[in-house]
Chain A
Amino acid sequence: MTQVSPVIQVQDVSFSYNREPTLTNLTFEVPEREFLAIIGPNGGGKSTLIKLILGLLEPNHGRILVKGRSPRKMSKIFGYVPQDVNVNIQFPIAVMDVILMGRLRHRGHFGINKQDRQRVMELMTMTGIPGLENRKIRDLSAGQRERVFIARALAADPDILILDEPTASVDTAGKTELYALLKDLNETKTIIVVSHDLMIVSSYVKSVACVNQGIHYHPKNEITETMLQMGYHCPVELIAHGQPHRILKTHGDF
């Protein structure tokens, strides 16, 4: 593998909400233009790890660097799609205004202008929701809302795109579309995606990390035995047909 400078460095990071440790002694680096899938059991700390990288949480121990600086200082570099897109669903807000949030303080300019609206329309076409700009967010389907949130993340022109289970409420055809879009975006952006979805792990990502209090980082798109052992089993939707050996290495395959 060619040596690419890391955009994210996680150095001996530990974090706990209460007494129980959520994450302990995590150390890994994410190189530039990586496409990383984070898998792991529920409650294993995937979302927590993402919030630490985004600077929304502070580690109790260790440090995280984004392009050599603290995540809080670099927060605008991120495009973030949170896990729960149904939060605040009764809020009186139109799709356009949600996506425009991604343009807040864009390149230092205050307020929203014509170009921002133009860009939102482009992004809506790109994410497969053209013409919905004046619809209320509560009138959309969960899958459409998911796309609105992806468009909002992209509106910030981020260098690093972080998605927390972005396909949870999208149908199979929609998933393929979204993964293809992410693959295109990966030409210029670093992408981290939390997913339980085998499809994305097998055919789109460049590396896989299993997070369950600790981390097992694997710089190939495979799930290794170690991952399965550390998480008892990583809850990947293992489907038998297709090419399972691409996903799961067999014993003695080293």
Chain B
Amino acid sequence: MNSILQIEGLSKKFGKIEAVKNLNLSINQGEVFGILGPNGSGKTTTLGMVLGVVHQSAGTYKWFGQEPSNDIRKKIGSVLETPNFYPYLSARNNLKLAARIKGVDFSTIDEVLTTVGLFERAESPFRTFSYGMKQRLAIGAALLGNPQALILDEPTNGLDPQGIAEIRQLVTKIASRGITIILASHLLDEVQKICSHVAIIRKGQLLFSGAVDSILGTTDSLEIGAENMVALQQHLLNYQDVKEVKQENGLLIVNFSQKPNPADLNQWLTNQGIYISHLAYRQRSLESQFLELLKNPSKS
């Protein structure tokens, strides 16, 4: 797999405050990589460093396996914190300016405006835009010239529910084109919905980094419900590989020693004369994992 971004020992001190501490991260091609952490955990500072606007106190980073340079930044589309544009320039002129800096042909501007749904407003000055439109224009500017990687910092911050839904759809659409996306967010739910990989950061320190599935995923547990819960529980204890049966919210949570096959279990229970009303894999929520990690950072 091709490395998109490799961060080694990156640190940033603002006076006495250590905003980022010895951060190591590896982001590969095709990933939708979430950087998750509470507000003030160093997400934006980290992105600022790899984008060349914040000087690191220590450590190195490489884009596409190469040393950082101005030309490399032209291959990355970024929205850092807020959409930054000239308020008196139209959407199109703002994009022209960005295209000029990136050395990208103007011909992609219309396409980008269409992708972010601003084609009709192309000639309106930026200052007349709603926050959601500004945010979309920023994503549009980031998409100019088909970047190999896209950095989105809190892209849904300050948006209304409809705006949030639009941006998430847009991100999913972009990700489906195979563009690597790095998304910083303090919203678990957002990372869980959009990202394939996640790094969890607290107080500038990395707590966890890996595939979202590995932290969330399906577990080796099933939720089962039936009319006769007592009989169900008794029978289940006799089923193969069952480790533990707990009752929770009117359902039985059954832990297996290895991944169970729900179809086999259903068949077996039917043969025992028990007809189940609920059967599902138990999803671990990122939230519980996240809170666990925040409580107990040494676990990672």
- Asked whether A and B interact, the reply is no
